[in-house]
Amino acid sequence: MPFGERHLKLSSGEVMDAPNIIRCMGPATIIQQYKAYCEENEISLLGVNNILLQPVEEAVKKFIHSTVFEQNTTSTKEMGLLVEMYVRHRFQNDKLPPKTNKRFWPSLKDLQNHIAFALKKQGTSPQNKQEILAIT
């Protein structure tokens, strides 16, 4: 390979060669390239339920969208606190999922994207356009 390869030792003891070019790309691109690389080389993905690849839980998405519609909340930090309260309430009798579980603890970027999507879904009035531009 023109950029070389890196030998990665997995927890199972198996050694896998990963092209260096993949390791130099942005995080989203890394995941896409890693999936493509694994498919081309018939390698099974490292943990199909990998935390980075988990989408936000549908109930959390609905909560974010309804909060945008009902309370007109567009601040990602405020939404993060509201989502935390929602998740804690939802799991009040059960063990909370770990903070690394992005299904229930979306990143600020995920929150930003879902808020913008909810605003876009809400309509494209001039006020909403300004809010969408302010968020993105």
Residues 48 and 62 in one domain: no
pLDDT along the chain (136 residues), means of 10: 71 78 62 77 59 78 92 90 94 85 88 89 63 60
Residues 84 and 99 in one domain: yes
Residue 48 has a pLDDT of: 47
Residues 29 and 63 in one domain: no
- Alpha carbons 132 and 1: distance in angstroms, whole number: 43
Beta strand 15-19 with 5-9 is antiparallel
Tokens of 31: 């995941």
Residue 11 has a pLDDT of: 78
The residue with tokens 């997995």 is 10
Supply the pTM of this predicted model: 0.54
Total domains, the chain: 2
Residues 86 and 129 in one domain: yes
Residues of the domain holding 48: 5-52
Residues 77 and 122 in one domain: yes
Residue 135 has a pLDDT of: 62
Q: How far is CA 16 from the centre of its chain?
A: 26
Residues 46 and 65 in one domain: no
